[in-house]
């Protein structure tokens, strides 16, 4: 629809609504003329009153139109009701800032090395020219540029491989979980793949648990703080060995991922998320229930070693309804189905989300990519298998990319840069897909050190010796599909050594116990408390009140008159006085809609 015709239809809808309002007004009016016109049986009398009225109405309509014009130019009228509607607990999505489990990266470093070597040749045949230092490029600028290229390698891996073995397992991360006093566990979380967090998990409370103010309480094992980046030339302890950190004066060494990963004491985490001040904690995204988490927006970050209370203040905003024009969408929303998990055997998992403004924008961007490059971007949520992603690389060409693969990737980068520039315009274009009623959250956080020294014995007892000690994730025969830590592969078993093949939790415990490899229930004193503390996070995400504030916008006087009439006719039937504001609004909305064509 062009801008012009949508403007015209707005006027038409406005006129219809105005007529509708006048009719109600006439029937209920105590005005003399109107009463006669609608009640009189005599045609001449009716004609007389009609003429009188028409003259008056013309003046009246003119006045009304001018009022509408004036009021729509004025600030909106806002109605605020405190504690007016039941609060809703938002969905919570958790991502680790460092995507990979560090204790596993250390324990199984040889497997990872073999994986990159045999599968990808350490990307030595990729972006050969771009990885060269330019004649006038400073060393610092060069290293920075390389880190961007390496990050791109990791996105290619993301779109092509199943790295779940090294990513977050919610079963291992979750040391304890309760929601409104009821126990919860990993089954209450659903996996969602994200190119930054890699393996994130969403929690949405089941509908039959009443909303309260206790909220969600989680104790998490972050597994993010075992590697400590150090400067070149220093000597570090690694598995009881002294290892000297290599630097290299020869800058051409730096352009290889192999050098970067294996001699510069960088973990895969630093390459996947090459931010200097990398946090050891979690990213927490709060989003309206049923919506897809927008990872970059509304996210809070918490460093490990703390207990954080996120206190949520919630208010619902009912968007301004312009007369007769539905410029927002109501529940139930149309759904969109995004891929939330995939692996290189062709497995696909989907989840449905409310289709709102963001989804329209994403769809538009993905369409643009498909039409220009013949593939979709991993940067935005997508709806079909991994082989439709521009960054997806099939096994056969991982070691040496073909021209087509490079073209797709370059096309992707170019088009993404173009469409991202249009984000603001697109959001405006699709503003009518904003929900009419949306929750706005604001939070304040209390953060304090945790666990403190006095908490440690109980933490060690409850979590280290019981929870971690008991679990057996990743062991051969656990029924899972392991594409990296594949202990059915005799070559990998030989590489690691049979006796070194341990569960995810045991690998973690070995790191906590000074890497000594020997621990038992009675040796809990050997736990390195510093390491333990820097891998734990306690979160309590709670609503401050069980009722939320309601904010309604109204644009004009005529609208208020309208609201008055519809609310009046609702009042007699309305049972639930607390939801009255919402009911009135919903009625208003549906009636306005029913007058449209
Ligand atoms: C490096 O040289 C190229 C041309 O050779 C030039 O375009 C670029 O601006 C130069 N960069 C710097 C930082 O001087
Ligand atoms: C967690 O999931 C179980 C079913 O697996 C369900 O019965 C329970 O209500 C859920 N708990 C919460 C807090 O949503
Ligand atoms: C730097 O290393 C590259 C290969 O790694 C080698 O070809 C080159 O000769 C080295 N340059 C210097 C100055 O050592
Ligand atoms: C693990 O290795 C075995 C033996 O090489 C192989 O048959 C199997 O397909 C591998 N599994 C995965 C998930 O790659
Ligand atoms: C405990 O771990 C920290 C951080 O990993 C390390 O600096 C420290 O030396 C360790 N303490 C002992 C006694 O090994
Ligand atoms: C009041 O609510 C009850 C159930 O919640 C419903 O059965 C009844 O019809 C309602 N009354 C009116 C007048 O809407």
Whether the model clears a pTM of 0.75, i.e. scores above it, the answer is: yes
The residue contributing the CA closest to ligand 3 atom 2 is 252
Q: Report d(CA 509, CA 102) in Å as an integer.
A: 12
CA 143 to ligand 3 centroid distance, Å: 17
DSSP state of 75: P
CA 76 to ligand 5 centroid distance, Å: 60
Taken in order 395, 400, 402, 408, the sign of the CA dihedral is: positive
Final residue in a domain of this structure, among 435, 452, 485: 435
Residue 36, both tokens: 């006669």
Q: Would you say 537 and 302 are in contact if contact means Cβ atoms under 8 Å apart? A: yes
The residue contributing the CA closest to ligand 4 atom 2 is 489
Q: Would you say 376 and 369 are in contact if contact means Cβ atoms under 8 Å apart? A: yes
Nearest to 225 by CA among 455, 501, 529: 529
Minimum-distance ligand 3 atom for the alpha carbon of 250: 1
Q: Report d(CA 480, CA 167) in Å as an integer.
A: 14
The residue contributing the CA closest to ligand 4 atom 12 is 483
Nearest ligand, CA of residue 165? 4
Angle of CA points 437, 443, 445, to nearest 5°: 165
Of 75-79, 82-86, 483-487, least confident by mean pLDDT is 75-79
In a domain, 386, yes or no: yes
Q: Report d(CA 478, CA 172) in Å as an integer.
A: 14
pLDDT tens-digit profile of 294-344?
Answer: 876 668 999 999 999 999 999 998 877 555 556 788 888 999 999 999 988
Q: Would you say 229 and 245 are in contact if contact means Cβ atoms under 8 Å apart? A: no
Q: Report d(CA 173, CA 532) in Å as an integer.
A: 13
Question: What count of residues does the chain have?
Answer: 597
Whether 596 is in the pocket of ligand 5, judged by its Cβ within 6 Å, is no
Q: Report d(CA 311, CA 308) in Å as an integer.
A: 10
Residue 330, both tokens: 């109501």
Final residue in a domain of this structure, among 46, 73, 100: 73
Q: Would you say 204 and 480 are in contact if contact means Cβ atoms under 8 Å apart? A: no
Q: How confident is the model at residue 448 (pLDDT cuts 50, 70, 90)?
A: very high
Q: Report d(CA 543, CA 87) in Å as an integer.
A: 8
Nearest ligand, CA of residue 576? 6
Q: Would you say 46 and 37 are in contact if contact means Cβ atoms under 8 Å apart? A: yes
Which whole-number Å values give the CA distances from 77 to 63, 257, 552, 559, in the listed order? 20, 59, 8, 10
Nearest to 292 by CA among 386, 211, 194, 365: 194
**Domain range holding 61?**
10-73
Nearest ligand, CA of residue 516? 5
Q: Report d(CA 554, CA 552) in Å as an integer.
A: 7
Final residue in a domain of this structure, among 387, 408, 435: 435
> For position 15, what pLDDT does the model report?
38
Q: How many domains would you assign to the chain?
A: 2
Mutational pocket test of ligand 2: of 181, 184, 541, the residue with most ligand atoms within 8 Å of the beta carbon: 184
CA 147 to ligand 5 centroid distance, Å: 29
Unique residue bearing structure tokens 């062009």: 2
DSSP string of 473-525?
A: TT-TTSS---SSS-TTSHHHHHHH-GGG---HHHHHHHHHTTT-S---GGGGG
> For position 271, what pLDDT does the model report?
82
Strands 306-318 and 536-543: parallel
CA 486 to ligand 4 centroid distance, Å: 6
Mutational pocket test of ligand 3: of 128, 133, 252, the residue with most ligand atoms within 8 Å of the beta carbon: 252
In a domain, 358, yes or no: yes
pLDDT tens-digit profile of 350-371?
Answer: 999 999 999 999 999 999 999 9
Q: Report d(CA 35, CA 52) in Å as an integer.
A: 13
Q: Report d(CA 279, CA 55) in Å as an integer.
A: 73
Q: Would you say 560 and 554 are in contact if contact means Cβ atoms under 8 Å apart? A: yes
In a domain, 375, yes or no: yes
Unique residue bearing structure tokens 């990307």: 123
CA 341 to ligand 2 centroid distance, Å: 22
E strand or H helix that includes residue 37: helix 32-39
The residue contributing the CA closest to ligand 2 atom 3 is 188
pLDDT tens-digit profile of 202-226?
Answer: 999 988 888 999 999 999 999 988 8
> For position 56, what pLDDT does the model report?
67
Minimum-distance ligand 2 atom for the alpha carbon of 208: 9
Mean pLDDT, residues 505-513: 82
> For position 469, what pLDDT does the model report?
67
The residue contributing the CA closest to ligand 3 atom 12 is 250
Q: Enumerate residues lining ligand 4, CB below 6 A.
A: 481-483, 486, 488-489
CA 131 to ligand 3 centroid distance, Å: 14
In a domain, 93, yes or no: no
In a domain, 363, yes or no: yes
Angle of CA points 102, 107, 108, to nearest 5°: 100
Q: Would you say 490 and 155 are in contact if contact means Cβ atoms under 8 Å apart? A: no
Radius of gyration (C-alpha) of the chain in whole angstroms: 31
Residue 160, both tokens: 């092509």
Backbone angles phi, psi at 209, to 5 degrees: -95, 125
Q: Report d(CA 505, CA 483) in Å as an integer.
A: 19
Of 334-343, 372-381, 420-429, 575-584, least confident by mean pLDDT is 575-584
Q: Report d(CA 150, CA 266) in Å as an integer.
A: 12
Q: Report d(CA 117, CA 572) in Å as an integer.
A: 75
Q: Would you say 230 and 236 are in contact if contact means Cβ atoms under 8 Å apart? A: yes
Return the percentage of the chain with pLDDT > 90, whole number: 44
Number of Cβ within 10 Å of residue 391's Cβ equals 23
> For position 3, what pLDDT does the model report?
35
Cis bond leading into 412, ω under 30°?
Answer: no
Q: Report d(CA 384, CA 6) in Å as an integer.
A: 33
Q: In what order do the strands lie in the sheet with 282-287?
A: 189-194, 198-203, 91-96, 282-287, 299-302
> For position 412, what pLDDT does the model report?
98
Q: What's the number of CA atoms in the CB half-sphere (13 Å) around residue 27?
A: 6
The gap from C-alpha 264 to its chain's centroid, in whole angstroms, comes to 33
In a domain, 393, yes or no: yes
pLDDT tens-digit profile of 50-82?
Answer: 776 677 667 666 766 665 565 555 456 678 898
In a domain, 543, yes or no: no
pLDDT > 60? residue 12? no
In a domain, 39, yes or no: yes
């Amino acid at each position: 629809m062009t801008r012009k015709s949508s403007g015209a239809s707005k006027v038409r809808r406005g006129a219809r609504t105005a007529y509708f309002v006048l009719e109600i007004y006439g029937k209920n009016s105590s005005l003399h003329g109107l009463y006669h016109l609608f009640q009189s049986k005599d045609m001449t009398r009716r004609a007389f009153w009609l003429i009188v009225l028409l003259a008056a109405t013309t003046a009246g309509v003119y006045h009304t139109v001018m009022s509408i014009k004036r009021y729509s130019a004025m600030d909106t009228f806002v109605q605020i009701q405190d504690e007016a509607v039941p609060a809703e607990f938002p969905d919570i999505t958790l991502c680790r800032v460092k995507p990979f489990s560090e204790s596993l990266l250390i324990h199984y470093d040889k497997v990872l090395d073999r994986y990159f070597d045999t599968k990808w040749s350490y990307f030595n045949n990729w972006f050969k020219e771009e990885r060269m230092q330019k004649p006038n490029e400073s060393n610092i600028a060069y290293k920075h540029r390389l880190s961007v290229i390496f990050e791109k390698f990791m996105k290619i891996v993301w779109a092509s491989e199943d790295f779940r073995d090294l990513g977050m397992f919610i079963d291992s991360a979750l040391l304890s979980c309760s929601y409104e006093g009821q126990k919860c566990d990993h089954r209450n979380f659903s996996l969602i793949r994200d190119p930054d967090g890699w393996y994130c998990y969403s929690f949405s409370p089941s509908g039959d648990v009443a909303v309260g103010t206790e909220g969600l309480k989680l104790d998490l094992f972050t597994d993010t703080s075992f590697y400590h980046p150090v400067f070149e030339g220093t000597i570090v302890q690694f598995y009881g060995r002294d290892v000297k950190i290599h630097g290299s004066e020869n800058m051409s060494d730096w352009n290889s991922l192999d050098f970067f990963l294996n001699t510069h004491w960088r973990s895969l985490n630093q390459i996947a998320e090459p931010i200097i001040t990398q946090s050891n904690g979690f990213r927490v995204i709060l989003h309206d229930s049923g919506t897809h988490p927008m990872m970059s927006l509304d996210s809070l970050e918490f460093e490990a070693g703390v207990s954080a209370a996120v206190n949520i203040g919630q208010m619902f905003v009912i968007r301004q309804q312009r007369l007769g024009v539905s410029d927002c969408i109501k529940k139930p929303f149309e759904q969109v189905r995004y891929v939330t998990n995939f692996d290189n055997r062709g497995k696909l998992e989907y989840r449905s989300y409310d289709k709102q403004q963001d989804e329209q924008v994403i769809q538009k961007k993905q369409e643009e990519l498909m039409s220009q490059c013949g593939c979709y971007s991993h940067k935005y949520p997508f709806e079909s298998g991994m082989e439709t992603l521009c960054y997806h690389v099939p096994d056969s060409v991982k070691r040496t990319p073909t021209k087509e693969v490079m073209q797709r990737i370059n096309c992707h980068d170019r088009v993404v840069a173009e469409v991202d520039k249009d984000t603001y315009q697109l959001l405006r274009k699709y503003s009518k897909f904003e929900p009419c009623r949306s929750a706005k959250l604001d939070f304040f956080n209390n953060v304090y050190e945790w666990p403190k020294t006095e908490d440690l014995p109980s933490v060690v007892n409850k979590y280290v010796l019981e929870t971690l000690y008991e679990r057996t994730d990743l062991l051969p025969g656990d029924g899972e599909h392991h594409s990296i830590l594949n202990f059915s592969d005799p070559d990998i078993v030989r590489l690691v050594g049979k006796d070194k093949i341990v569960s995810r939790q045991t690998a973690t415990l070995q790191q906590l116990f000074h890497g000594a490899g020997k621990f038992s229930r009675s040796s809990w004193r050997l736990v390195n408390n510093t390491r333990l503390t820097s891998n734990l996070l306690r979160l309590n995400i709670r609503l401050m009140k069980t009722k939320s504030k309601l904010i309604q916008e109204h644009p004009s006087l005529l609208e208020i008159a309208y609201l008055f009439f519809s609310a009046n006719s609702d009042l007699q039937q309305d049972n639930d006085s607390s939801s009255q504001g919402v009911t009135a609004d919903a009625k208003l909305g549906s009636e306005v809609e029913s007058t449209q064509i």
